[in-house]
Structure 1
């Protein structure tokens, strides 16, 4: 019997952890922490797992890898780019196995197809043709001009990122809003290995001259040098051109600064947060966990939150599940109250069950 068990990640903004039992194998799809600090999946009843597959390297998808010992220390599979982003103290080299960005692989006897997810460097979706076809998207987006999204094969069961619920605003309109808000100077706080390089490229194209923290500059340099298909060809060339225009020297409150981390909790963003009395203004564009500097600044009216899409909009989700012929849809990483329109459009295809028999999706 093919079965999916939701351990964590459905019903709210929760860490990713999903057990896929298929083809005689037990595969754990992601193992995250957060995004609220210290929130981890409960693995006490999972038992031994044959392998862990990682969709990308953000903490809510990989931050729980320290729990591997409770499920038998299984080997971990990810793209070469994802492994570049994960410390060897979290997963030792001997336990690392490489998945293709786009291609096929066999894990614990299960034939898989992978493709780029459009969300982050090295991020992938994972598909198996068994049980009528099953797709795990991880986080995904079709709006990025830097990180491509490869169309997946048909699937009777689609497990989709629905982080934005019913959101319909486009990335193009959001970029215009952010450019206008940042024009006189702002610290744009971003996660490592995420939207930072694209933010730099898109704002530069609108006439702004962004300053990059060391971490984001290194990401742009990596994209400029990459020939693996990590980024769209135009983005690779644009990254090289951007590097030639970057200014050096200390940043000032009048600069447009793109810096990690996303909520000014660490990295160069935290350094500038400590200097906020000098006049640095902050702009946040992703999920803001309680208790972070971002949450405090926004609550005090001392910072702005303007979204930058890195997840699917309502129309994107509906288009994906319809094109793939999905009969069962699991919508992850959002609360039901955030997606009444999506739920209504999906109707009886939408499942909130913790245990799903994939054979019933045929």
Structure 2
């Protein structure tokens, strides 16, 4: 396993797995800081690209696939639906289920829902002692299920929050209190928008979704692929029926709008009307030099986290359950995880190249 990008900070995801003669790139992202892309100069051709979900820091560098030989790309149907055909033509798409058994470049895998994004999955390779790539994940989502993964000797896990350990349940109330008089709650496309709408409605807040989030809710309400539960589908459908029309936006309304940092979408449009009294709340990672960053630096907006990544305890629980002996803590700086670093000890991988055990069939092949 080679970390191409994603170790040592909030960096684009790109991890190269070499197993049984196959070379598979796990994710190919950009950002979150605009323009930051993985260096593929030393990677060479790969047999497949596997995408965990459709957020830009995991798929935003698909335009570089020619450097890898334009291999087939594996992902769920929901993930593919969020990727332009101009970036990834249909003939290179190979659909994976959201949970269950499948194959990637001829290698058997198990996949499961990651609780982070609609259609998002973790991927488990049983070979070489077991390799588990989590992508981004959360065990706390109020809408998106999280499937427990199998044991694995090598674990590449989202550790974005480092030692942070506050529960989502307490965060929802704080955000609802701020939003009650009226606020623009900025969210990423394909992310926490529908979940936020559902959670706020349960607290009695009648929020309005922007057109992008509304379409996401409509898609989830008609989901037949097991992305969310039947109860959640019914809850989203009922919320859509009771939601007021989205034809007028005023500062006294609770508005859930894309994009996450007010760089595009309805959030960017309402930012231009800020003198009408619109209040802005951001709840995820805020890259420098974005509208959200500028507003927060000037004290003109509020930031309250809405968990979409694992807390410290969640990460420790995952390592314990999977019995991983090698752990790559991705998307976090070491100084943000001193407690986790101490707890992991020798299991924490600090180098970019992680050797994997050689299976018996590989030894026999090498001896031929």
User: 2:71 aligns to what SS in structure 1?
Assistant: coil
Match of 1:115 in 2: 112
Partner residue of 1:348? 346
1:145, 1:232 within 8 Å by CA — same for their partners in 2? Answer: no
Correspondence 1:153-232 to 2 at 5 A: 153-232=150-229
Residues 9-34 of structure 1: CA distance to partner in whole angstroms, max 9, x if unpaired?
A: 00000000010001110000000000
Of 131, 136, 144, the match for 1:134: 131
* 2: CA distance, partners of 1:212 / 1:261: 12
Query: Given the alignment, which residue of 59, 67, 75 partners 2:72?
Result: 75
Provide the TM-score with structure 2 as the length reference: 0.96
Report the count of equivalent residues: 359
TM-score relative to the length of structure 1: 0.98
Pairing 1:239–2:236 present: yes
TM-superposed deviation, 1:105: 1.4
Distance, in Å, in 1 between the alignment partners of 2:225 and 2:88 is 23
Give me the whole-angstrom Cα distance separating, in 1, the residues matched to 2:17 and 2:8: 18
In 2, are the aligned partners of 1:23 and 1:109 still within 8 Å (CA)?
no
Deviations 1:96-117 (A, max 9, x none): 1101111111222211110000
Provide the rounded CA distance (Å) in 2 between the counterparts of 1:339 and 1:258. Answer: 31
Contact 2:263 2:291 in 1 (8 A): yes
Give the distance between the partners of 1:156 and 1:233, measured in 2 at CA: 34
Query: How far does the alpha carbon of each residue in 1:262-309 deviate from its partner, in whole angstroms, 9 at most, with x for none?
Result: 000001110001111111000000000011110011000000000000
Task: Judge conservation of contact 2:142–2:199 (CA < 8 Å) in 1.
Answer: no
Counterpart of 1:151 in 2: which secondary structure?
coil
Other-structure match for 1:296:
294
Structure 1 gap segments, 5+ residues each? none
Distance 1:261 1:55 in 2: 21
Report what 2:284 is aligned to. Answer: 286
2:271 to 265, 273, 291: 273
Structure 1 residue aligned with 2:334: 336
Deviations 1:178-200 (A, max 9, x none): 00011101100000000000000
Distance 2:280 2:138 in 1: 25
- Give the deviation of 1:359 after TM superposition: 1.3
Give the superposition deviation at 1:40.
0.2
Per the TM alignment, residue 235 of structure 1 is displaced from its structure 2 partner at its CA by 1.3
Runs of 4+ deviating beyond 2 Å = none
Partner SS, residue 128 of structure 2? helix
- Once the two structures are TM-superposed, the CA of residue 360 in structure 1 deviates from its matched residue by 8.4
Counterpart CA distance in 1 for 2:274 and 2:232 is 33
Q: Partners in 2 of 1:279 and 1:7 — Cα distance?
A: 45
**What is residue 365 of structure 2 aligned with on the other side?**
none
Counterpart secondary structure, 1:238? helix
